[in-house]
């Protein structure tokens, strides 16, 4: 059972990091293409705004303050309460798609739907606008990856600290106590 615990924890966090890294790799070329373009002052201002705004809104507020600590908390919960199906689907478990409160599932699926719609709209933008948006998104995702690694490091250094809310539907405490 110990191997299942470690596998659930590692696959949950590792799977999400792989997913986010894949998104960064896929979006980066459009952002780097901006270097070959002659940008007007409006484009430069929009690029600066996109990078700064997405660093704060997506990276800090979305990932660092919400998603990243919850991912690590749910991975910790999974390592303490491994079920074979949950371990198999650990990234989905850690993102709150399965074995979560109704509210968490609605928020997770709603946010994902909104992101998919946003991606479809951004794909229709011509350069340099698509690259400008993608540069901001890539920046936010990189901050998000760093946030997950930060909370993972904190959890590994101080496993006795209580986690943030896990939004697990079972009765009892929604947070993990030492």
pLDDT in tens, 68-126: 999 999 999 999 999 999 999 999 999 999 999 999 999 999 999 999 999 999 999 99
Cα separation, 9 vs 94, in Å, equals 9
Closest-CA residue to 75 (of 139, 154, 22)? 154
Residue 167 lies in a domain: no
Residue 149 lies in a domain: yes
Residue 81 lies in a domain: yes
The tally of domains found in the chain comes to: 1
* DSSP-derived secondary structure letter, 162: P
């Amino acid at each position: 059972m110990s191997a299942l615990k470690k596998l659930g924890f590692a696959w949950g966090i590792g799977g999400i990091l792989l997913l986010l890294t894949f998104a960064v790799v896929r979006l980066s070329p459009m952002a780097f293409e901006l270097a070959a373009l002659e940008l007007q002052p409006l484009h430069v201002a929009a690029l600066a705004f996109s990078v700064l705004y997405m660093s704060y809104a997506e990276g800090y507020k979305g990932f660092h303050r919400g998603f990243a600590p919850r991912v690590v908390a749910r991975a910790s919960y999974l390592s303490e309460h491994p079920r074979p199906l949950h371990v198999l689907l650990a990234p989905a478990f850690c993102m709150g798609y399965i074995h979560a409160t109704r509210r968490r599932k609605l928020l997770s699926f709603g946010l994902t739907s909104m992101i998919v719609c946003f991606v479809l709209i951004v794909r229709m933008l011509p350069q340099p606008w698509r690259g400008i948006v993608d540069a901001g998104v890539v920046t936010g995702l990189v901050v998000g990856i760093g946030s997950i690694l930060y909370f993972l490091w904190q959890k590994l250094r101080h496993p006795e600290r209580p986690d943030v809310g896990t939004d697990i539907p079972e009765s009892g405490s929604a947070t993990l106590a030492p």
